Structure 1
Amino acid sequence: MIAFCDTMTITEKILSEANKKVVKPGEIIEVDVDFVMSHDGTSPPAIRSFEKIADKVWDREKIAIIFDHNIPANTIGSAEFQKVARNFSKKQKLSHFYSHGEGICHQVLPEKGLVEPGMVIVGADSHTCTYGAFGAFSTGMGATDIAMIYATGKTWFMVPESFKIEINGKLSNDTSSKDIILNIIGKIGSEGATYKSCEFCGKTVEEMDVSGRMTITNMAIEMGGKNGIMEPNQNTLKFLSERTGKNPSEFKIFKSDHDSQYEKEFYFDISELEPQISCPNDVDNVKPISKVTGTHIDQGFIGSCTNGRLEDLKDAYEILKGNEIHSDVRLIIAPASAEIYKKAIDLGYINQFIESGAIVCNPGCGPCLGGHMGVLTKGETSISTTNRNFKGRMGDSESEVYLSNAKVVAASALKGYIESPSDIRLE
């Protein structure tokens, strides 16, 4: 490990280690990549570019291709894309190829033990920043950049300035980490952290479970962040040890120095936070639920790489238990991975969802993309646990999408309009 100066952030330390010398914000650097990922939608363009420059990947153990965006294939085009990726994976003998519905890439990689603290992870998907929840530097890139990593194992970055985002307080029963990050995005803005390293810290983050941490880092990109990152906590280390088979002492853990230099610092007390709703058509158009209660909905969706984890399904289960979905609403639920799906079956969640009238889909990105399933038509409104709600995201450009936590989606599906979970519990 190189000798760091004593005023560095976690991101600066990771990039310094990958660059083999101390780096500073604004500096253009070349780094060694520890792991690279692409999915069925982004692999073929990367593969075609790769094949123009190389015959063999740099390390077949450090590349993952995961089918999640259109699984099973819903068009001839998506089937052709998947065929290209299958053939490439076979030819290159990739060790990490997941094409049988294992789940969403950002959930599958940590589950398979492929993410560790201190790693530099690059993915051909904007929400690759999710792995910052585990103390890794992770970010999304385009197909050409991914192709070069396939070939060389290296890429370049401009070292980002860091934002310190400190979160303290205890959430209410109606709220979750989704409300925390929506509130933060509402304050900072969808472009307020462009190309910044968004470092989340504070007592709330220190005590947060893995699912909640992943939700927050996942949406760092929604305020323009280059990456979202947190120092690993005990919950994270326990999860990683179980997945990798390693002792926590074997991980390369980096922590920000006490006097680290940040471009900006933000402080949030979430003790009095009510459920937050991101309103059409921008993710930073965030309002407390009290301002939008009663808004008609046609569809609800619980899933995605942001909120399709077991904790989210449990939240929905507790609201839906013994209740039926409103006759005017279709509720779609898609677990983030096959592992989560199976656990949800064992716990009785899936059976309850079906009894309540929900449509339970296979693990994958599903309705989040507005083309695979759950498409909205003109004039329809959805409330969703996904991460984006720009115009046309889930279907027709004249449809509307609201974003919330899973409890709010479930409560709203029962009523036919946006509703607070607390009002359901009082009935």
Structure 2
Amino acid sequence: MGKTIVEKIMSEHSGKDVKAGDLTIARVDAALLQDGTGPLAVKQLEGMDLVKAANPDRTFIFIDHASPSPRKELSNDHKTLRAFAEKTGVKLFDVGEGVCHQIVAEHYINPGDILVGADSHTCTAGGLGAFATGMGSTDVAVAIALGKTWFRVPETIKVNIKGKFKKGVYAKDVILYIIGKISADGATYKALEFTGPAVKAMSISERLTLCNMAVEAGAKTGVVAS
């Protein structure tokens, strides 16, 4: 029996054959934190005496949510992230340097990669054919320090999109329609694999839009074959 895109990526990164439902430890190609979730991850690493990054060139911290800081508590969080970046050598994108999902997609993610992020919309990068998923700050912290983390390989829902869009209809309308059909929890811990003639005709930005909102249906990730 053939494998889904997600099963292929997970198998390659686990060093063994895995299928939907399996628990596995997989190598992580890239990880991201943002200023809303990153301070907790840093505190977890400090508490575990693991203030390091296994792959600093592909570990990214973004100060892009409360940016610029509206109050002193958040300013202190920003200082924590800057200090962590300086100590570990990870890449820091400071105030005004860009939004995490856009920067990562434009410069750092390749088809077949695994990206984890302490942000629910990390799945955006699935539009490039990567397995990209949001995780809790602690899980992402471990992935940063060790270069690997645990996963349950998700089942896949194939979403075959046909036809041509009428004028004024965009990828955002398509994913909202799909979510309306399957509900806000209709794909919980599953992967939405978008395929079909309409998807093949989409631009990269449209594919990123589809995958960005997969989480709004409860999905672990959205993915488009590259």
Q: Which residue number in structure 2 is paired with residue 108 of structure 1?
A: 103
- 1:132 touches 1:217 (CA, 8 Å); kept in 2? yes
Is 1:16 equivalent to 2:8 in the alignment? Answer: no
RMSD: 0.9
Identity %: 44
Q: Distance in 2 between matches of 1:226 and 1:218?
A: 11
**What one-letter code is carried by the residue in structure 2 that aligns with 1:42?**
T
Q: How does 1:3-402 map to 2 (within 5 A)?
A: 6-53=1-48, 54-94=50-90, 96-111=91-106, 113-232=107-226
Alignment partners' CA distance in 1, 2:212 and 2:149: 22
Q: TM-score if structure 2 supplies the norm length? A: 0.97
Give the Cα–Cα distance (whole angstroms) in 2 for the partners of residues 109 and 204 of structure 1: 25
TM-score w.r.t. length of structure 1: 0.52
CA distance in 2 between counterparts of 1:161 and 1:56 reads 33
Q: Which runs of 4+ in 1 moved over 4 A?
A: none
What is the aligned residue count? 225
Q: Find the aligned partners of 2:62 and 2:51 in 1 and give their Cα distance.
A: 21
1:175-203 per-position Cα deviation (integer Å, ceiling 9, x unaligned) = 10111000000001000000001000000
Which amino acid counterpart does residue 149 of structure 2 have in structure 1? T
Unaligned residue ranges in structure 2 (runs of 5+): none
SS of aligned partner of 2:161: strand
Amino acid at match of 2:20: P
Structure 1 residues 66-85: Cα deviation after superposition (integer angstroms, max 9, x where no partner): 11101111111211110100
Q: 3-state SS of the aligned residue for 1:31?
A: strand
**Partner deviation per Cα, 1:218-246 (whole Å, 9 max, x = no partner):** 000000001100101xxxxxxxxxxxxxx
Q: Which has the higher helix share?
A: 2
Query: Which is higher, the Rg of structure 1 or of structure 2?
Result: 1
Q: Secondary structure at the match of 2:149?
A: strand
Deviation at 1:60, TM superposition (A): 1.2
C-alpha contact 1:50 1:150 (8 A) present in aligned 2 = no
Whole-angstrom distance in 2 between the partners of 1:48 and 1:9: 36
Measured against aligned partners, the alpha-carbon deviations of 1:141-194 in whole angstroms (never above 9, x if no partner) come to: 111111111211111111111100000111111110111000000001000000
Unaligned segments of structure 1, at least 5 residues: 1-5, 233-427
Q: Letter of the aligned partner of 2:205 in structure 1?
A: S
Distance 1:224 1:100 in 2: 30
Deviations 1:260-281 (A, max 9, x none): xxxxxxxxxxxxxxxxxxxxxx
Amino acid at match of 2:16: K
- Partners of 2:109 and 2:135 in 1: how far apart? 18
- Larger RCO: Structure 1 or Structure 2 (Cα < 8 Å, ≥ 6 residues apart)? 2
* C-alpha distance after superposition, 1:380-420 (max 9, x if no partner): xxxxxxxxxxxxxxxxxxxxxxxxxxxxxxxxxxxxxxxxx
3-state SS, counterpart of residue 168 of structure 1 = coil
